[in-house]
Chains A and B, each alone.
Chain A
Amino acid sequence: MDTAAYGNLLDSLRGVTWPSRRVALAGMAGSHLSKLRGMSAEFTEYRPYRQGDDPRRIDWKLLARSDRFFVRLTSDRAALGTVVVVDASASMGFPESGLGKWSQACLVALGLAAVAHASGDPVGLVLAGAGTARAVRMRSRRGVLGEMARVLASIQPSGEAALARLLPALARTPRVALVSDLLDDEEATRGEARRLEVSGTEVHVVHIVAREEAEGLPGGFLAVDPERPQVRRTFSEAGRTAYVESFASWRLSTARAWRASGAAYTEVMSDEPAHRAVRRVCSQRRSPHR
C-alpha cells in the first residue's frame, strides 16, 4: 500500500468525527457522551437540591430569582475504544491485479482508525485470515496508526477468515468495525456480531464489494472460488444477468440481516473513494431496529 495514499486519505478525513451510536460507558475522558453526569460545561438540566449534593453546583442566580435551591447538571464525555477487524482471506485479494478489495479494505480500516484516534479513542487492529494471527493492541498513543499501516502492508490476503471464531474475543471492546466482503460464513459471523451487540459492543460492518463482482467479468470463463476450489461455475454472457441479480439480491438480504441484528451496515464498492466511504460509515446513526 502506498503511504502517499494513506497521507491523502488522512488529509481528507481531517475534522471527521465518528460519534458513538449509543451512550458510552464510564471510562477515560473522551469525546463520546458518557452515561455519567460530570462537571463539564455542557448544561443538561436542573434538579432540586438534595441533601448531600455539592453546594458548588447550586445555581445561585436561579435561587435569587426563584428563592428555591436547584442544582445545575451537565453531561460527561468518555473515550470509546475501537478495534478494526480486517478480513484478510483469499477472497479479499480480488482482482489479483491491483488487489482492489484488499486495498479498499486497508484504506477504509486505516481511515476509521484515524478518525477514532483523532477523537482521542484508543484504536487497535485485528487481521483475520492470511494464515497468521496479526493484531495491533488497542492504544491511543501517536504511533499506533503507523504501526497499523505497516501491519496491513505486510499482509497478502490468503486462506480463510473464520471471523465467527475471532469475534467472541472482542466481547469487552466498546466498538468493533468489521471490514470484510462477508463471503465467508456470513451467518455465523452475524450471529457472533449480534452477541457482541447484546453485550454492549457497538458493531459496524463495512461490506467491501468489488465492482467486477457486482457487474461480472467480460467474456466467458470458468469461475473458481479461491477459498473453496471445488466450487466451479461457467460464467458466460448468457448468464451474466442472472448472476448480477443473484449477487445483488444476496447483498440486499445481507444488508437487511445485519441491520436487523443491530449492527451498522455500510456497503462500499472497491472503486469508491475511501474517504467518502469512511465518512458514510462514521455518519451511521442508531439502527432503527433497536
Chain B
Amino acid sequence: MRLLAPGYLVAAAATAMAVTLLHFLSRRRPRPRLFPTARFVPMAASQASALTRRPSDLVLLLIRLTAVLASGLALARPMAETPRRTTVRVVVADLSAAVADSAAAREAAAALAGDGDTVIFVRGPERGALSAGLAAAVRAALRLGARAESLELALVSPLTEAQWDEATAAIRALWRGRALLVRTRPAPATRYPVEPLAAADPLRTTIALAGFPAPRSGAPLVRLRRSGPLSHDDSAFASSGGTAVLWPRSTAATDSADAVYSAGAAAVGPFPALAAAPGGDARGIAWTNRGIPIAWESSYGSGCLRVIGFDVPASGDHALRTGMRRMAARLLAPCNAARNPEPLDTARLAALAGGPSLWSGRDATFAAPPRGATPLVVALLALAFASLAAEWWWRRREPEPAA
C-alpha cells in the first residue's frame, strides 16, 4: 500500500503522541461524596495537575487515538498496490535507416528482453531515431512503473552522430536511471551521385574528398546548382523524390561567417555568407557561429529543396578539412537516407549511459490518483467519526457521587 499524502499520517502520529502525553498529565478530579456540611469546606482548586505513571482513562485514550489515527490515515489517501517485480527492462531496438542489419538488431533486442520486459522497435529515418526510441521508452516506463521496483533501459542501436538531434539529450534526461548501450553495426555511409561541378569550383574538391561519386547511370539523387534560382525542372526533380540543392558561389557574398555548424558537422571559416532565408516553410539546417541560420531545407513533394547561404572560399585549405567534408556530406545528403555513420562521441555516449542507479518504479508511476474517496478511505472516515461520537458519549458519563 502507498500513501498519496503521507504528511497527514505524520501529523496524525504527532497528534496521537500529544494526546497520549496529555493523558499522562491529566488533571485528577477527586471522587465525589455526599457531605451535608460541604458549604463549610474552604474553596480550593477542584483539580490538580500531576504527572502520573499510568495514563488516565485508558478507554478514552484508546478512543481518541483511534479517531486521530483513522482521520490521519484517511486524509493520507492510502492506495492499494499490485505486487511489483524487482526490475523491468525496457529494450529499445533501433531498426531505423542507420542500422545495417535489422535482423541482427532484433536478435540482440530479444536476447536482452526477458519475461515481463518490454521491447520497443524504432523505424524510420536515421535522424531522430534515438529521440524517438527514448521517448517511447519513457512512455513505457510511466506505464510499467506501477508494477516494478526498478526500471532499466537497454538501447540497441548503431549510436551514430546522425541519429543524435537537438532533442535527444533532453529526452534522455527524462529517463532518470542508467541505460545499457548495445551497439549494432551501422549502415555504411553512402554518398549518392551529385552533378559534376566545374574544375575551378572549390566545392568540387570538397565533394570529391567527401566521397561523392559522379553519376554513372540514371538520374542522381542530389542535384547541385551553383547558381540560382532553382528552375521548374529542379522543383519537379525534388517533387519526385530528389534533393535539389542551391549552393550559390560566393561572388554575391555580402557577409561572412566565422564558422558553420549543423547536426553532426562543424566547419571553421571564415566563409563568405550570402543572402537571407528563402522564407516559406524552410527550416534551418545549418547555422553560423552567431546562431544565424545559413542553410535551409524545405520539403517538396517526395523530396526536398535546400538553399545554402555560404560558400567554400576559393583560397585556403577549407576543402581539405574534415569538418568541411562532413558539412558537405551533411548538406548534400539526400532527404531520406543515411548520412553520417560516425559513432557518437564520448560525451554523448556518457550522456546516453547515464548514472549508475536504476530508475525507481515508484518515481516513474504516472498513474493518476483515483478521484474521490476509495472504499478504504470511506471506511477510515467512518471509523474516525464513530470514534469521535464515542469519545463525546464517554466524556458525558458522570460518575455517581458516593456517600
Contact = CB atoms under 8 A, between A and B. Distances in A.
Given A222-B401, A239-B44, A243-B42, A232 B32 contact: yes
Interface of A: 90-91, 94-97, 181, 183, 210, 213, 217, 220-228, 231-236, 238-239, 242-243, 246-247, 250
Nearest to B29: A222
Interface string B37-57: 111111111100000000000
B33 interface: yes
B31 interface: yes
15 contacts: A94-B34, A96-B403, A220-B30, A221-B33, A223-B38, A224-B38, A233-B42, A234-B44, A234-B46, A235-B30, A235-B38, A239-B41, A242-B42, A243-B37, A243-B40
A233 B36 contact: no
A16 to B, nearest CB: 30
Given A94-B403, A96-B403, A213-B36, A233 B31 contact: no
Contact of B32 (A97, A221, A239): A221
B393 interface: no
Contacts of B38: 223-225, 231-233, 235
- Consensus secondary structure, chain B interface: loop
Q: Which of A90, A221, A238: most chain B CB closer than 10 A?
A: A221
Given A96-B403, A222-B30, A222-B401, A181 B36 contact: yes
Nearest to A226: B34
A224 B33 contact: yes
Given A94-B35, A223-B32, A223-B38, 10 more contacts: A90-B36, A217-B35, A221-B32, A223-B33, A223-B41, A224-B34, A226-B34, A236-B44, A238-B44, A246-B42
B44 A233 contact: yes
A40 B401 CA distance: 62
B36 to A, nearest CB: 4
A233 B43 contact: yes
Contacts of A247: 37, 40
B403 A95 contact: yes
Nearest to A246: B40
B329 to A, nearest CB: 101
Contact of A224 (B35, B43, B44): B35
B50 to A, nearest CB: 12
A217 B40 CA distance: 13
A221 B221 CA distance: 109
Contacts of B42: 233, 239, 242-243, 246
Contacts of A225: 34-36, 38-39
A266 B165 CA distance: 116
A250 B30 CA distance: 26
A222 B27 CA distance: 14
A186 to B, nearest CB: 12
Contacts of A223: 32-33, 35, 37-38, 41
B46 A96 contact: no
Interface string B385-397: 0000000000000
Contacts of B32: 221-224, 232
Given A222-B29, A246-B40, A235 B34 contact: no
Contacts of A210: 36
A224 B401 contact: yes
Nearest to B46: A234
A115 B398 CA distance: 48
Contacts of A233: 38-39, 41-44, 46
Closest 3 CB pairs of A and B: A96-B403, A91-B36, A233-B41
A226 B39 CA distance: 11
Contacts of A213: 35-37
Nearest to B38: A223
A228 B45 CA distance: 20
A181 B35 CA distance: 13
Contacts of B403: 94-97, 226
A27 B33 CA distance: 50
B36 A232 contact: no
Contacts of B33: 217, 221-224
B45 A234 contact: yes
Nearest to A244: B40
Given A94-B403, A246-B42, A235 B35 contact: yes
B100 to A, nearest CB: 97
Contacts of B30: 220-222, 234-236
Nearest to A227: B36
Contacts of B40: 243, 246-247, 250
Interface string B42-79: 11111000000000000000000000000000000000
B44 A222 contact: no
A95 B33 CA distance: 10
Contacts of A239: 41-42, 44
